[in-house]
A and B are shown apart, each in its own frame.
Chain A
């Protein structure tokens, strides 16, 4: 199978995309705002060097 056919096959396997969830709803917008501005999101775990660099 050549690469173009492989890609076509993979595209077919992707489930039909749902409607893109724009953050137009007030609740979604507030969640994005608190994630970006108030750190209300999951923290990326750090190595000891990372913790040292940002202590």
Chain B
């Protein structure tokens, strides 16, 4: 059965797209799944850019406005991840409610569909939440970001969506601080991704950090996240990585 997972945050700029590309590329490359990542942020897109390109002849915007078929908006990343990007040009406001139809059309051929949702709880985001079954919420360890994340979680729960948990991004926290956040938001912490230059470098190079710098701290944190999402051990871990893991 296809799992449809939304990546949300509430506040913008916390690392949703970075998380989406790492999760999507890993589900496809490391776990061998058929995965489609959709940029549900049709007004301020970045998913395609993070994966290596900014010019796509056909995007989700054309699909949602009925100008193109879904088949023409699917692109292949070398990890095996399939991507439906959104447009970088401003062609008007798109009706995102149809995104659920796009998701439903793809279910037959996929193991995972990831929706990189926009920030805030505006109409674009609400359409995204309605299209997914499960959610991962990303937040930075500051109260502005955590409060917005809390609102997103509450809204998703109202819609009876399964919230898998919170990913604390750009976070170097002590265990008691993590526990404090967990209690305040009443949610599982799936992973804590440390603030690390390798994430910035991998974004600049348009390659997910989990594959470009596989032994870096953020990559190891993403691998733990992958284990939580899939419920399976991260595959192909080398001996050096396992030894490093013992000291984590």
Contact = CB atoms under 8 A, between A and B. Distances in A.
Interface of A: 7, 10-11, 13-15, 17-23, 28-29, 31-33, 35-37, 39, 41-47, 49-51, 53-54
B38 to A, nearest CB: 12
Interface string B136-151: 0000000000000000
Nearest to B202: A49
Contacts of B83: 44
B69 interface: yes
A46 B74 CA distance: 16
A44 B34 contact: no
B63 to A, nearest CB: 8
A22 B137 CA distance: 30
Nearest to A55: B78
11 contacts: A18-B67, A20-B64, A21-B63, A23-B71, A32-B71, A32-B109, A44-B83, A47-B206, A49-B212, A51-B78, A53-B207
A41 B205 contact: no
Residue of A10, A18, A49, A51 contacting most chain B CB atoms (<10 Å): A49
Interface size class on chain B is 35 or more
Nearest to A48: B205
- Give the 5 A-B residue pairs with the shortest CB-CB distance, closest first: A18-B66, A14-B92, A31-B71, A54-B78, A49-B205
Contacts of B48: 44
A35 B98 contact: no
A17 B109 contact: no
A32 B105 contact: yes
Contacts of A21: 63, 66, 68-70
Nearest to B53: A44
Given A22-B105, A29-B108, A45-B53, 14 more contacts: A11-B92, A14-B93, A17-B65, A19-B66, A20-B66, A21-B69, A35-B71, A35-B74, A44-B48, A44-B78, A46-B207, A47-B52, A50-B206, A54-B78
B109 A44 contact: no
B200 interface: no
A46 B76 CA distance: 11
Nearest to B57: A42
A44 B52 CA distance: 6
Contacts of A45: 52-53
Contact of A47 (B77, B79, B205): B205
